[in-house]
Amino acid sequence: MKDNKTKHVSVDTETITSVLKRVVSENGRAHLSGYLFAIVCLGIIAASTAFAAWIMESVVNEAFANKRADMVLLICAAIFFSFLIRGFATYGQAVALSKIGNNIVASYQRRLYSHLMALSVGYYTDTRSARISAKISQNVSGIRDVLNMTVTSLARDLLTLIALIGVMISKDWLLTLIVFVVAPPLLLGLRYVSRRLRQATRESVEINSHVLGAMQETIQGISIVKAFTMEDQLRGKVEEIIDRAENRANRIARLSERTAPMTETFAGLAISSVLAYAAFRAIYDNVPPGAFFSFVTALLMAYDPARRLARLQVSLERAVVNARMIYEVLDTMPHQRDKPGATALHVGMATIEFRDVTFAYAEGGDMILKGVSFVAEGGKTTALVGPSGAGKTTVIGLIPRFYDPTGGQILIDGQDILDVTKASLRAQLAYVSQQPYLFEGTIRDNIRYGREGATDAEVEDAARLAYAHDFIMAQPQGYDTPVGENGVTLSGGQRQRLSIARALVRNAPILLLDEATSALDTESEAAVQKALDHAMEGRTVVVIAHRLSTIVNADKIVVMRDGLVVEEGTHDGLAAKPDGLYARLHNLQAPLAVLPPVSSAASDAAAPTHEEPAE
């Protein structure tokens, strides 16, 4: 059996270092020159900061103690130029890091989209689409933040701190030693906070993805929400999730801000100790004040970079959690990759054969198909019928390899579809699902998705065959009318006819119809059925239809029940079997044939958000 479970490669959830190494290995080389430029600029900022502290001794001694006017002008000019250079360096590093960060975000968005397209349908069956969207939109910036925080902290804060410590040591090594006596307890406290923060941050991201997912689902299903007066019910559900998200965010805030009293206590103790020591030296030893002022200036300037470095692990924990969740998506391995040496599918008659096919959606789960065998002959129409849950839609889904069979073989012109490339297989197929889906863009764009190179004339011909041309021309901009989100401006029947047109313009030798006329009223269905009858000529068609009236002319009817083929034949032959399942289904639906037809014009004139009758 082929593993129908999507495989995951686990990521290291313990250390920042593992994620940082991966981020650097994937992005460092591509942006090396930009980061080097930013590091140079950050180094200039660090040097200019240290220079401002170092020169304070000369300012105090020469200007206020020695009263040398010539030195004052020189010192002031040096300070001015140091700040001028610092300003340009600050601008340069900010722009460089922003450009790099934006490029990283864009590249990972492209990579994520491409990877999501490579994943099988099974992945989306197991994972809520709203949650995937929320997860990606929240977390993609985490990788950028990991790199930018690391570069900024090491190149600016660490270099600045080192330079300022150098100034402090050069002015008074004993004072510097006093400052660092209280540092170890601070570092231990910050490490404890960062460990507590890691889990809280991950939980927060998960809960927020649920919040955004719930909101997205409500927006997508707003018609159902209002029709069934679900507002209060959903409001209570979402508010409960929001409360959990708020509580988790508050916990993160408490943990994050615990660093403030730690660092402030450290700073207060260090500065007060230094002031006491320096004051006694000035009072009792008559030490000139210039070195002391320079030392204190360096100490005060060192506070900000030291505080940022102290919080770095805490900040990185939050960014790394986001980065890990992106890597969890990227590390999800598609299980339906082409076999090594897979060849292109060559289609002649386009005969489809199922040989003892079994299938379960989950390993060890219930079998949906239990040994299905039949032949859909090339150039002819094969209809699948049976009660709900018989496995008809699963059969349709296996042909384009939305899923792979658990056992048995599916052959097209004698070629096992597992031995050919998915791209070549799907290039020979056109598919219409029972739930029509339209993409953002115009009506013409949505039809042309069936075949990218289709001309406007071919698009319009396909629309005519799908009984869609007339209502398209009645739209404000004809074929250039935007359809809105999933065709919200169109009725259900109109969306289905555009979906059929998209399949027809593909001009593929195999046509798969999964209850393709289910959203049409009776009159429109009859017209579309005539168009489909014409479009099916010379093609291999596999069609599912609950309304047996739509497939009475099929060349072969395959009757399924409980994952098995129980009958095969033509409509006349199967209907003549009094004890057969097909005959019973046909007799149950016979009264529906006498219902009066519904006007197509009235149907298309209905409110855009209303679905047309399914039956």
Cβ partners under 8 Å of residue 176, min gap 6: 165, 168, 169
> Rounded to the nearest 5°, which phi and psi values hold at 407?
-155, 170
How many angstroms separate the CA atoms of 207 and 35, rounded?
35
| Measured distance between the N- and C-terminal CA atoms of the chain, rounded to whole angstroms | 39
How many angstroms separate the CA atoms of 198 and 323, rounded?
13
Q: Assess whether pLDDT exceeds 80 at residue 368.
A: yes
**Would you list the DSSP string of 388-410?**
TTSSHHHHHHHTTTSS--SEEEE
Give 150 or 194, the one with higher predicted confidence. 150
Cβ partners under 8 Å of residue 28, min gap 6: 35
* Nearest alpha-carbon partner for 350 in 433, 429, 450, 424: 429
How many residues does the structure list for the chain? Answer: 615
Amino acid 305: pLDDT? 83
Q: Which of 47-61, 347-361, 463-477, 517-531 has the lowest mean pLDDT?
A: 517-531
How many angstroms separate the CA atoms of 212 and 242, rounded?
10
Give 62 or 472, the one with higher predicted confidence. 472
How many angstroms separate the CA atoms of 321 and 318, rounded?
5
Amino acid 595: pLDDT? 38
Question: Which range among 53-67, 251-265, 485-499 has the greatest average pLDDT?
Answer: 485-499
Facing residues of 325 across strands?
none
Q: Assess whether pLDDT exceeds 90 at residue 21.
A: no
Amino acid 64: pLDDT? 66
Q: Assess whether pLDDT exceeds 50 at residue 349.
A: yes
Q: Assess whether pLDDT exceeds 60 at residue 9.
A: no
Q: What percent of the chain has pLDDT over 90?
A: 20
CA distance readout (Å), 387 to 100, 562, 564? 57, 9, 12
Mean per-residue pLDDT for 30-58? 87
How many angstroms separate the CA atoms of 333 and 118, rounded?
9
Which tokens go with 90?
């600050």
* Nearest alpha-carbon partner for 494 in 455, 436, 545: 436
Which tokens go with 506?
């593909």
Q: Do 443 and 498 contact (CB within 8 A), yes or no?
A: yes
Which tokens go with 227?
């029709």
What letter represents residue 154's amino acid?
L
Amino acid 400: pLDDT? 92
* Nearest alpha-carbon partner for 571 in 413, 385, 303: 385
Q: Assess whether pLDDT exceeds 90 at residue 79.
A: no
606 secondary structure, DSSP code: S
pLDDT category of residue 358 using cuts at 50, 70 and 90: very high
Give 425 or 3, the one with higher predicted confidence. 425
Amino acid 371: pLDDT? 92
Amino acid 208: pLDDT? 73
Q: Which of 11-20, 404-413, 436-445 has the lowest mean pLDDT?
A: 11-20
* Comma-separated ranges of CATH 1.20.1560.10 domains in the chain: 9-333
Facing residues of 564 across strands?
561
Q: What is the mean pLDDT of the chain?
A: 79
CA distance readout (Å), 219 to 48, 126, 234? 53, 21, 12
pLDDT category of residue 135 using cuts at 50, 70 and 90: low
Q: Assess whether pLDDT exceeds 80 at residue 398.
A: yes
Strands laid side by side in the 407-412 sheet: 369-376, 352-359, 407-412, 415-416
> What is the CATH class of 352-434+509-604?
alpha beta
> Rounded to the nearest 5°, which phi and psi values hold at 544?
-110, 135
Q: Assess whether pLDDT exceeds 70 at residue 600.
A: no
Q: Which of 154-163, 341-350, 529-538 has the lowest mean pLDDT?
A: 529-538
Amino acid 307: pLDDT? 73
**Residue found by looking up tokens 């014409």 in the block:** 534
pLDDT category of residue 325 using cuts at 50, 70 and 90: confident
Q: Assess whether pLDDT exceeds 70 at residue 390.
A: yes
Q: 510-514 and 540-544: which strand pairing?
A: parallel
Amino acid 524: pLDDT? 64
What letter represents residue 603's amino acid?
S
Q: What percent of the chain has pLDDT over 70?
A: 81
Mean per-residue pLDDT for 60-72? 71
Mean per-residue pLDDT for 118-136? 73
Side-chain half-sphere exposure of 490, counting CA atoms within 13 A:
33
Q: Assess whether pLDDT exceeds 90 at residue 568.
A: yes
Amino acid 66: pLDDT? 67
* Nearest alpha-carbon partner for 121 in 331, 334, 325, 330: 334
* Comma-separated ranges of CATH 3.40.50.300 domains in the chain: 352-434+509-604
Q: Assess whether pLDDT exceeds 60 at residue 566.
A: yes
Q: Do 385 and 567 contact (CB within 8 A), yes or no?
A: no
Q: Assess whether pLDDT exceeds 70 at residue 210.
A: yes
Amino acid 121: pLDDT? 79
- Residue 304, Cβ neighbours under 10 Å: how many? 13
* Architecture of the domain made up of 9-333: Up-down Bundle (1.20)
Amino acid 457: pLDDT? 93
Q: Do 212 and 138 contact (CB within 8 A), yes or no?
A: yes
Mean per-residue pLDDT for 250-279? 73
Mean per-residue pLDDT for 466-495? 85
Cβ partners under 8 Å of residue 277, min gap 6: 174, 175, 178
Amino acid 344: pLDDT? 92
Amino acid 492: pLDDT? 75
Q: Which of 295-299, 390-394, 406-410, 596-600 has the lowest mean pLDDT?
A: 596-600
Question: Which range among 209-223, 233-247, 297-311, 561-575 has the greatest average pLDDT?
Answer: 561-575
What letter represents residue 587's amino acid?
N
How many angstroms separate the CA atoms of 412 and 512, rounded?
14
Amino acid 558: pLDDT? 94
Q: Where are the alpha helices (DSSP H) in 119-230?
A: 121-126, 129-139, 141-152, 159-171, 173-181, 183-220, 222-227
Q: Assess whether pLDDT exceeds 50 at residue 593.
A: no
Q: Do 334 and 18 contact (CB within 8 A), yes or no?
A: no
Q: Assess whether pLDDT exceeds 90 at residue 416.
A: yes
Q: Assess whether pLDDT exceeds 70 at residue 611.
A: no
Amino acid 25: pLDDT? 84
* Nearest alpha-carbon partner for 558 in 542, 547, 572: 542
Amino acid 183: pLDDT? 64
Which tokens go with 297?
């200036």
Q: Assess whether pLDDT exceeds 90 at residue 105.
A: no
CA distance readout (Å), 424 to 2, 182, 417? 21, 68, 10
Facing residues of 431 across strands?
512
Question: Which range among 176-180, 235-239, 458-462 has the greatest average pLDDT?
Answer: 458-462
pTM over 0.75, yes/no: no
Amino acid 350: pLDDT? 92
How many angstroms separate the CA atoms of 430 and 434, rounded?
14
How many angstroms separate the CA atoms of 75 and 63, rounded?
9
* Nearest alpha-carbon partner for 155 in 25, 26, 312, 267: 312
Q: Where are the alpha helices (DSSP H) in 536-580?
A: 571-575
Which tokens go with 181?
């006596």
How many angstroms separate the CA atoms of 116 and 504, rounded?
27
Which tokens go with 31?
């942006």
Give 309 or 99, the one with higher predicted confidence. 99
pLDDT category of residue 138 using cuts at 50, 70 and 90: low
Strands laid side by side in the 429-432 sheet: 429-432, 510-514, 540-544, 381-385, 556-561, 564-569
